[in-house]
Structure formats: C-alpha cells, structure tokens
Structure 1
Amino acid sequence: MIFNQKGGVGKTTTAINLGCGLARWHSEPVTLVDLDPQTHLSAALGFRAETLSWNVSDWLAGATAGEGPKRIAERLDLVPGDCNPPPARKLTRRLDDLAGHLVVDAPPTWNDEVASLLAACDCVLTPLEPEFLSMQGISRLMQRMEAAGISWSRLRLLLCRYDQRLAVHREVRARLADRFGEHLLPGVIRNNVRLAEAPGYGQSIFDYAPDSAGANDYCALVHTLIADKTWRESN
C-alpha cells in the first residue's frame, strides 16, 4: 500500500510505475487500486472515474456486478477510483485470496478505512520529499501505526524528487537514514520532468521515456522490493 498523510509527494506516480514495473518484470498479475477520491491514478491511466458503473467502493464491498477491473496491460488491471465515496465505506472483502500483487494508491488521510487496509497489506510504502518536515510526518505515521497495532517492519520510505546537487536533499537523506535506519530504501527517485509528463499521455514512465532517469529509478525500486524479504518474513 502506498500511503503518506501529506499529498503531492509522488504517491500516484509511484503507484503507476511500481504497478507497471511489477507487471513487466515479475510473473505474477498486478492489480492497481485507486483508493483516493481525487482519482488521479484512474485519470493518469486514461479513465474518467465518474463515468464508470463499477469502482473501488464496489471492490471494497466485494460486489462483482458491473464492469469490473479495467485491463491496462498484460498481467495489469486497475480498480478505478470513486469520486464520491460513501461516508461509511469499509473493507469487507478478503485480500489474502487475491492472486499476485496488489498496489493501493491511498488518500493522504488517516481514517478507519486506511487503517484497515494498512493492517491487511504486507508493505507500507511511503513516498516523501527530501524536506526536514518530512521526518516529523514519518514519526507521526509510525505513532499511528503503533496505536493501530500495525508492525513498523512493514514500513518502507522512498525519497522522491531527489536532487543530489542540493545540500538540503543530501542532509535530509542522511538524517532519515540515521533516524529511520532500514526503513529508508537505499535508492531514490530523482527529480525528472519525464515523470510529470507521462500521465498526460496515459502511460507509465517505462512506455513514455524508457531511457530516462525516472524509468531507471523505478526499475530499481521494483527489483529492490521484489528482493526485500524482510517485511514478508515478519508479517
């Protein structure tokens, strides 16, 4: 699950490219789930959520009537978002009976729905920008995870929009590594304009600009997470 209580940190970009990358380089099917009412994930993949008869609210409730998930590519499906979710939307379906990988783009809000999904998922991937206030946000997230009984071993931090030339970015990265240790992933997503352009064409970075820094960085992320056994063994 991809979650940060702060918006605009690269959640949706990470969801798209992680999901597409897993479908490319791993043999299991991938389902992208657009949980954010802004439905940016759906829009970035070419779907207007408000025009669809079946969406993530139906999926959470286990409802099968309607259009169902959208096929994006081989081994890759999308559960479209809901622009107007019901106020008491809850997770009633089982997640452990789903085949393959599930990549959930969560809203930047902590609520019962998000907490339920975080408790059910294997890995909590938190994109963040290299700013000093990001550390405060991660500490707050860890406190809420602990209060909800969700193991910190599931948490992985991903630095996005990183520029090695900036001293503040290097310093924040060093402080995050010192404070959060193994939770911080070794790779970063560098600041790359191609990542911002790709959604406008309904494509992942691998299709839009396969030779870009953004494609290289998300490729590395996919392989890092596939090889990361720590969170699997501890859940």
Structure 2
Amino acid sequence: MGKIIAIANQKGGVGKTTTSVNLAASLGVLEKKVLLIDADPQANATSGLGLDVDTIDVGTYQLLEHTNNAKDAILKTSSPNLDVIPSHIDLVAIEIELVDKDEREYMLKKALQDIKDDYDFILIDCAPSLGLLTLNALTASDSVIIPIQCEYFALEGLGKLLNTIKSVQKIHNQTLDIEGLLLTMYDSRLRLSNQVVEEVQKHFNDMVFQTIIQRNVRLSEAPSYGESIINYDASSKGATNYLSLAKELIIKNS
C-alpha cells in the first residue's frame, strides 16, 4: 500500500520543489518505487527532472479534470525507480474550472485510487498557496511534509498552514498526519540559522526531522541541468542530506 505525502508550504522559496525532486530521487535510489506528482503550475519539479514542459499532453491538469486517468499521465524519468506526473502552466486555470464542481476537493484523491498500490511512496509537490490545488493535495494525502527555511520569517505563516491542515483534517481528511517539519537552507555560519533551528525544535520537538538540509551550491545548480542532486553530484552535501532524509522517512514508515 503506497503512502501519499504532500510537500506543502504557502510561502514560496522554502525548498518545496527541491525537496520533492531530491527526496523522490533519493527514495528511488534506496530501491523504493516512487511517483512524484507536480501540482504546481510553475512546473519546476517537471523541468527539474529533465522533462520538457512544452511537450506535456497529459498531466496533473487532466487528472484533476478527470479527462484522463492517472496511468495515462505517468512518465518515466532517468532517475532509478522514479516516475512523474508532470505539470503545465494550464494548471493555473484549474481553480476556476473546478469551482462549481461537486466534491471539487476530492478530484485528486479519486484520480489516485487506481495507482496508489503501485508505489511505495507518492510525493506531491504543492503550489505556494493554500488554494484549491493544495487543498486537493492535502485531501488526497496520508501525511504532509512542511519545509521551513532557516531564515528570519521562517515561522511566519506556519500557523496559517497548520490551521489549514487542521480544517482539512476536520472536514475532508480525518487521517491526514503531519509527517514532519523539515529545516532547509541551513547555513551553520549564520547565527540566525542556528536560532531558527533552536526555535523550531523547541516549539515542535518530535515533529521536526533530524535531518537538516544545508545550503549547497550544487543543490541549486542541479535543476538547471534537469537532474536531481543524486544524478548531478552524488558526493555533494545536498545529496548526502536528501539521502539521509529518505532513510529517516523509510525508517519512520517501516
């Protein structure tokens, strides 16, 4: 039975897509069967895995519209054991198109029923908003990973996201769990980075992943080559961090 995990935070630039792509690739390298769903109209996870966004015919948009089934939308990637359901700029329109549909929050959940058992992990890269797209992802998921940037405004907006998760639990998905808070973009030389780590660990203790994702030049270069950090530079600090996160996730779910 596959586990569906949304990677969500309504703040942009906190490392959601970087985490989605590299955690998915790391789980694949550790011999788990993984599907990454790009649920962000910017389609950065799609291009970050080397796919040409302009050639996408079937993706998350068609899945939410129920014009195609999930199997039609799955593409193989060059990463071991990793498939992707790509995104496209068309996805921007989905919030308006679904607005008067019945059970509009459950479109993704229904679309994934057929394939859930084909994978060990299904990761959903969410858009940086709390709109209908993210709501669909949270309703379809078993749990959520929340990336938090080790910077000044780190905790701003986190309360809002946790409230959204609470209301999703209450109304749409009672079994939704918080898989963990993930500290990203950590720079050990900065006092601020260390303060954020301390504060998050103090407030949320066991909810925080032990793995911390450090700032890493190779990590920010990899997407421009259409590769995960594992393919781009397996010996880099970024690759080591994401492999460590993948191992932590596997242990937590075994």
Normalised to the residue count of structure 1, the TM-score between the two structures is: 0.89
Deviates more, 1:76-85 or 1:110-119: 110-119
Deviation at 1:97, TM superposition (A): 4.5
Contact 1:54/1:66 (CA < 8 Å) preserved in 2?
no
Pairs within 5 Å for 1:118-197? 118-149=138-169, 153-197=177-221
- Match status 1:20 vs 2:25: yes
Is residue 4 of structure 1 aligned with residue 9 of structure 2?
yes
Which structure 1 residue ranges, 5 or more long, are not aligned? none
Give me the whole-angstrom Cα distance separating, in 2, the residues matched to 1:48 and 1:125: 27
RMSD: 2.2
Which piece of structure 1 moves more, 170-179 or 44-53? 44-53
Shift of 1:57: 1.4
Paired with 2:18 and 2:55, the residues of 1 have a C-alpha distance of: 23
Query: Partners in 2 of 1:95 and 1:205 — Cα distance?
Result: 30
SS across alignment from 2:35: strand
Kindly provide the amino acid, as one letter, of the partner of residue 10 in structure 2.
Q
**Residue 70 of structure 2 contacts residue 114 of structure 2 at CA under 8 Å; is this kept in 1?**
no
Measure the CA separation in 1 of the matches of 2:179 and 2:161. Answer: 10
Q: Aligned equivalents of 2:67 and 2:22: distance in 1?
A: 26
Report Cα offsets for 1:156-186 as digits up to 9, x if no partner.
1111110112111111111101111211111
Change (3 A) 1:139 1:64: closer
Which of 28, 37, 46 is the equivalent residue of 1:33? 37
Gaps of 5+ in 2: 1-5, 99-106
Question: 50, 53, 57: which is aligned to 1:53?
Answer: 57
Cα deviation 1:31-61 (Å, max 9, x = unaligned): 1111100011111122232322111112332
In the other structure, the counterpart of 2:82 is 76
Tell me, yes or no, if the aligned pair for 1:35 and 1:82 is still in contact at 8 Å.
no
Over the matched positions of the two proteins, sequence identity in percent amounts to 31
- Secondary structure in structure 1 of the residue aligned to 2:157: helix
1:152–1:186 distance in 2 versus 1, CA, 3 Å: farther
Q: What one-letter code is carried by the residue in structure 2 that aligns with 1:75?
A: N
Query: Is residue 2:240 matched to residue 1:216?
Result: yes
Structure 1 residue 125: Cα displacement:
0.9
- Residue 88 of structure 1 pairs with residue 97 of structure 2: yes
